[in-house]
Amino acid sequence: MKLIDTHAHMDDEKYEGKLDSMIKNYVEEGMVLIINPSYDKASCERTIVLTEKYPMIYGAIGMHPHDAKDADEEFFSYIIEKTRNEKIVAVGEIGLDYYYDYSPRDVQKAVFKRQMEIAQDANLPVIIHCRDSHHDTYELLKTFKGKVKGVMHSYSGSWEMAKLYLDLGYYISFSGPITFKNSRKLPEVAANVPLDRIMIETDSPYLTPVPFRGKTNEPAYVQYVAQRVAQLKGISSEELVIKVIENTKALFTKI
């Protein structure tokens, strides 16, 4: 079965010194594509290096809400320039995180809006991080309806909220938590999201799915996310992954 991971942080230090062998194994296991999102300037730089070294890795560049306090005009100019890179397929991950509030909320909103404007100008989609902030995230995304599309990364909200994002033209992406026994809202979301608007991911090295929960996550484990989502949709894993690949190419048009 072909595998695709639409969100994995392969530049994380947990993979240092292991990537060559990991990528070799992924190719043998059927992995055809990994999208590596960024979260700060250093991560953007590492992401670009990875896209240059590994044909299967594409990148997204942006400032995570945790690090929004560090964004400045120099950084914005940097990502404007790098969006021209043929293997940078999105602006991300960007958004709002009110769970940790590592950056002030007004700063998060301002940086989020600025990066949405950059994505619009570059005609690129966005990868959205949203934690405990669905109302404000939706309200901002709504102002760009018809101008910017993207994916709700590692979705954690309700089906009611998902319908609003779908109306804006966004895709819904599922990760490890869809496999957790205590996952309450996500099974309903996965069962109801149209097949042509679904993506799957690992968010490696985080959110490891069952049966490896508690260990370091990696893109190969995306197959367990695919199996669970396919089960909820009443289709085979192979059928789901084929559709996810089509969806990914439809949104990330540089791929």
Two tokens, residue 8: 């994995």
From first CA to last CA, the distance across the chain in angstroms is 20
CA–CA separation, 239 and 255 (whole Å)? 20
CA–CA separation, 115 and 211 (whole Å)? 36
Two tokens, residue 248: 């990914």
Mean residue pLDDT across the chain = 97
Query: Could you tell me if 179 and 209 are in contact, meaning their C-beta atoms sit under 8 angstroms apart?
Result: yes
User: Across the chain, how many H-helices and E-strands are there?
Assistant: 9, 8
Q: Which residues of 26-57 are buried (b: 16+ CB within 10 A; e: fewer)?
A: beeeebebbbbbbbbbebbebbbebbeebebb
Structure confidence at residue 168 (pLDDT): 98
Structure confidence at residue 1 (pLDDT): 87
Structure confidence at residue 136 (pLDDT): 98
How many residues appear in the chain? Answer: 255
Q: What is the dihedral of CA 174, 178, 182, 183, to 10 degrees?
A: 50
Query: Could you tell me if 50 and 10 are in contact, meaning their C-beta atoms sit under 8 angstroms apart?
Result: yes
Query: Secondary structure of the chain: what % helix, strand, coil (to 5)?
Result: 50, 15, 35
Q: Tens-digit pLDDT profile for the chain (255 aa)?
A: 899 999 999 999 999 999 999 999 999 999 999 999 999 999 999 999 999 999 999 999 999 999 999 999 999 999 999 999 999 999 999 999 999 999 999 999 999 999 999 999 999 999 999 999 999 999 999 999 999 999 999 999 999 999 999 999 999 999 999 999 999 999 999 999 999 999 999 999 999 999 999 999 999 999 999 999 999 999 999 999 999 999 999 999 999
Cα separation values, 15 from 10, 21, 107, 204, 219, Å: 7, 10, 31, 10, 12
Helix (H, G, I), strand (E, B) or coil at 33: strand
Structure confidence at residue 109 (pLDDT): 98
* Percent share of the chain, pLDDT over 70: 100
Q: What is the pLDDT of residues 199-237, one digit of tens each?
A: 999 999 999 999 999 999 999 999 999 999 999 999 999
According to DSSP H, which parts of the chain are helical? 19-29, 41-53, 73-82, 105-122, 134-142, 159-167, 186-192, 222-233, 237-251
Q: Where are the domains of the chain?
A: 3-251
Cα diameter, the chain: 48
Q: What type of residue is 44?
A: C
**Taking CA 161 as the corner, what is the angle to CA 158 and CA 202, rounded to the nearest 5 degrees?**
60
Structure confidence at residue 209 (pLDDT): 98
Specify the fold of 3-251.
Answer: TIM Barrel (3.20.20)
Report if pTM > 0.85.
yes
